[in-house]
Chain A
């Protein structure tokens, strides 16, 4: 992709951000440089370099916006090394929207300097080539299942063909879950009536990665919602939410996808849009930010995002029936960044877990610190992602037999950590455990 020419040359104003939708002054001028963000930032904790701290990044973005720095490596590296985990936003007393600033700055870089090499190729292949296109996603899914089931995987592993891959990709290959024959979006009926007294209609957002790797989590989500009085709709023409595109700076592609989804879910007429992937949930709730300059879609995005709920959030909000089936396990809970920091959902998943008879939940230290997955960050920045994964694995209490969370990216990453350590640990979604407890309850009847 060629470097795009600036569409907007700000007359009379010095700035390194020449393209539309730049980081906004109102957002970076809020930072008072107090530094409270430093110690919660995973990249600063690792490197201790101000360039890779939230206030450092905001400062560099401000310098570039004011034309004191060019849009070169000095800004680009720090902006792309950010995990976009938002831990800084949780602690920031001044309310700096670091995530939005980073995403807007990445948008400028996306225009100015299309990425080259391996990283660029990976990003373009997935972000423009596959995820936005349901058919291609389905084909990829099919290919992966074929790879797993045909004996190709066994052959590839035996012959050592995988050794051509970098270590972190080999690890990822090793932990890809067994791909189910059908994605949830195909397997689930379009309309699933509520059990018991109806509390509302919820349209299930099936997502891309979630439905390729964890379609069973989507099915569990639908069952649990049904079980608790929600009619579940599965709109067939929905597509990927665009979160990964936003994170990579491809805001135009993300907007195109968001428009499509907003229209699809508006037509569904559901009271809620339910989602079980933290990253996607945050992206859906932040659609208004993406359309802040769009006269038509801004209002639609606001209306849409008001209906979006994480599954744990919705169950607690409308009221759920505590399961009576016993799940005798000892687990710990990892707070996915986009659940705890971006959506401020911390107590609800824990409440659901505690409602399960027989389940022991042990808190993990620093459970809110990023595991290093961060969308496709673990593919683009394997060194930092690997270091953060090691710390996360160190923090998992010894006595647990499973780690529970609410985001597919974290699930893949922590599976890789479990594989690396040869640990005897399951990696589960909150909803899977709840679903299991309801299933056991059924059997007891």
Chain B
């Protein structure tokens, strides 16, 4: 099927206005929130119903054309980058709230519904949807499902997988199945658990049943500033050690504070503190004040410089915006950045931050730190300038080195952003070849032709080991070369396969 035939066939299913296939309409889809690698899709389509998704997928499957689902494209690990010239199935027009069952705490949504929009629609009745990635004002629930997204309040409430109970799912051959159960636990294999976090490699969720929660009666939010990172991280351990489970504990370091203070979300952090904590407690109105008093007391015990409880909703909203916009605000201090997503045992925070600072010094790349401190989920923001030859590669290597540290102290390489194409090789920090082969075997059951988001999430098995070895040698010694030779870049695993 050539491009024109494909364009016509897709147009027959969806109509002229919901298909982009002329080459000059495709550039804006070359990447998602991860910009270090880019590639043009073969087409972009905008279905509006499960049936349309199924029809498109069947057409592509029958013609052996690779494809991938895409939400708002805010993913940070490159999960929606069409490296194989995929047809992008954009789900953003499937953005309806299909039904809400307040009494049983359920809502059924289409995948393109924006996360925060769900909360806005039900907030009048006193309900909300708990998982709150920083990009919640724009990211979609389908994308959250694909990446098993987290968020600031996941410390207390759990990540996306804890809030999705059922989904209608289009398999990569175009058949439609139902997974999970709106109420109770579905018998049989936990296939819903399998597809949540599968990063679009097993199929496409087209109707999602989520849990909604009653808004807590009381919320208190504090901003605590620390001269030393170690005191801040000891405070985090102190709070949790005291048996308090806050709704959120977020931390930012000085460089992150500088970035966000330059933006529209200016708080005015002192320039000589090392860390700021944003601590929120919620629950029954009667208990919240008392819990917050204890939190403040624990902050004081750990040499907090100042700790302030929000006096108004506007103040609280500003503090949260400052935290949630910190990634984007990094554009204020650097032309490009890669945000990493490692998880560590919370008690190792001070030590890991020191090692990240060393990596920063050695590489010469600045690293800002923003993280869900309560979960031990780090987001080091590696600042670089893609216009300087070799610097993109260097930033990728620095990211990898940071993840190695996380894995080495017993953590993982991703807390919520997914593996995508960004952390493929780092999967090997966590898994043996046998582990990975088992995961690929599962994928093959759902996605036997490997047309659905090929090359993401799991690195290919150890064929072409010599190519990988060569790559490792270059990676580990890149400092010797100073910069990479111009045009040279590290091959992705898919390309390694193709050339090996």
A48 touches B92 (CB 8 A): yes
Task: Return chain B residues, CB-CB under 8 Å to A91.
Answer: 137, 264
Q: Mark B126-160, 1 if CB is under 8 A from A, else 0.
A: 00000000010111000000000000000000000
B28 touches A56 (CB 8 A): yes
A95 touches B335 (CB 8 A): no
Which residue on A lies nearest to B330, using beta carbons? Answer: A32
Task: Return chain A residues, CB-CB under 8 Å to B33.
Answer: 33-35
Q: Which residues of B are at the interface with A, using a C-beta cutoff of 8 A?
A: 20, 24-25, 27-33, 35, 46, 72-74, 90, 92-93, 95, 112, 114, 117, 135, 137-139, 260, 262-265, 325-332, 335-337, 387
Task: Return chain B residues, CB-CB under 8 Å to A37.
Answer: 138
A81 at the interface (CB under 8 A from B): no
A35 touches B331 (CB 8 A): no
Task: Return chain B residues, CB-CB under 8 Å to A73.
Answer: 24
User: Of residues 26 to 49 in A, which have CB atoms within 8 Å of B's CB atoms?
Assistant: 29-39, 48-49
B35 touches A93 (CB 8 A): no
22 A-B contacts (beta carbon < 8 Å): A32-B328, A32-B330, A33-B35, A35-B73, A35-B139, A39-B72, A39-B114, A49-B20, A49-B28, A49-B46, A50-B29, A51-B27, A59-B28, A60-B28, A74-B24, A92-B263, A93-B327, A93-B329, A94-B263, A94-B328, A95-B332, A96-B331
Given the contacts A35-B135, A39-B138, A74 and B25 also touching, CB distance less than 8 Å = yes
B330 touches A94 (CB 8 A): yes
Contact of A35 among B24, B74, B93, B337 (CB under 8 A): B74
Task: Return chain A residues, CB-CB under 8 Å to B332.
Answer: 30, 93-95
List 19 other contacts, CB 8 Å, given A35-B139, A53-B28: A32-B337, A33-B32, A34-B74, A34-B331, A35-B32, A35-B72, A35-B138, A39-B72, A39-B117, A48-B90, A49-B20, A50-B29, A68-B27, A72-B24, A74-B27, A91-B264, A93-B260, A93-B325, A96-B331
Which residue on B lies nearest to A56, using beta carbons? Answer: B28
In the assembled complex, how far is the CB of residue B24 from the closest CB belonging to chain A, in whole angstroms? 3
A69 at the interface (CB under 8 A from B): yes
- Chain A contact-residue range equals 20 to 34
In the assembled complex, how far is the CB of residue B318 from the closest CB belonging to chain A, in whole angstroms? 13
Q: Mark A97-117, 1 if CB is under 8 A from B, else 0.
A: 000000000000000000000
Task: Return chain A residues, CB-CB under 8 Å to B29.
Answer: 50
A439 at the interface (CB under 8 A from B): no
Task: Return chain B residues, CB-CB under 8 Å to A32.
Answer: 35, 327-328, 330-331, 336-337
Looking at chain A's contact residues, the main secondary structure is loop
Given the contacts A50-B73, A95-B332, A36 and B325 also touching, CB distance less than 8 Å = yes
Cα distance A320–B270 in the bound complex, in angstroms? 36
Task: Return chain B residues, CB-CB under 8 Å to A49.
Answer: 20, 28, 46
Which residue on B lies nearest to A70, using beta carbons? Answer: B24
Task: Return chain A residues, CB-CB under 8 Å to B95.
Answer: 48
Q: Which residues of A are at the interface with B, using a C-beta cutoff of 8 A?
A: 29-39, 48-51, 53, 56, 59-60, 63, 68-69, 72-74, 78, 90-96
Cα distance A244–B35 in the bound complex, in angstroms? 35
**Most chain-A Cβ atoms within 10 A of its Cβ — which of B31, B33, B262, B328?**
B328
Task: Return chain A residues, CB-CB under 8 Å to B326.
Answer: 93
Cα distance A291–B72 in the bound complex, in angstroms? 37
Contact of A51 among B28, B135, B328, B329 (CB under 8 A): B28
Looking at chain B's contact residues, the main secondary structure is loop
A34 touches B328 (CB 8 A): yes
Cα distance A74–B374 in the bound complex, in angstroms? 46
A92 touches B28 (CB 8 A): no
Given the contacts A49-B20, A53-B28, A34 and B335 also touching, CB distance less than 8 Å = no
Cα distance A238–B144 in the bound complex, in angstroms? 55
In the assembled complex, how far is the CB of residue B70 from the closest CB belonging to chain A, in whole angstroms? 9
Given the contacts A36-B137, A50-B73, A94 and B93 also touching, CB distance less than 8 Å = no
Given the contacts A32-B331, A48-B92, A95 and B262 also touching, CB distance less than 8 Å = yes
Task: Return chain B residues, CB-CB under 8 Å to A48.
Answer: 46, 90, 92-93, 95, 112
B24 touches A93 (CB 8 A): no
Which residue on B lies nearest to A44, using beta carbons? Answer: B92
A92 touches B264 (CB 8 A): yes
**Most chain-B Cβ atoms within 10 A of its Cβ — which of A30, A33, A51, A92?**
A33
In the assembled complex, how far is the CB of residue B338 from the closest CB belonging to chain A, in whole angstroms? 10
Which residue on A lies nearest to B112, using beta carbons? Answer: A48
In the assembled complex, how far is the CB of residue A394 from the closest CB belonging to chain B, in whole angstroms? 15
Which residue on B lies nearest to A90, using beta carbons? Answer: B264
B24 touches A69 (CB 8 A): yes
Given the contacts A39-B114, A59-B27, A73-B24, A95 and B263 also touching, CB distance less than 8 Å = yes
Listed from nearest, the 6 A-B pairs whose CB atoms lie closest are A94-B331, A93-B328, A74-B24, A93-B325, A56-B28, A50-B28
Task: Return chain B residues, CB-CB under 8 Å to A90.
Answer: 264
Cα distance A397–B151 in the bound complex, in angstroms? 34
Task: Return chain B residues, CB-CB under 8 Å to A29.
Answer: 335, 387
Task: Return chain A residues, CB-CB under 8 Å to B336.
Answer: 32
Cα distance A60–B337 in the bound complex, in angstroms? 20
Cα distance A56–B31 in the bound complex, in angstroms? 10
B25 touches A93 (CB 8 A): no
Which residue on A lies nearest to B46, using beta carbons? Answer: A48
In the assembled complex, how far is the CB of residue B322 from the closest CB belonging to chain A, in whole angstroms? 9
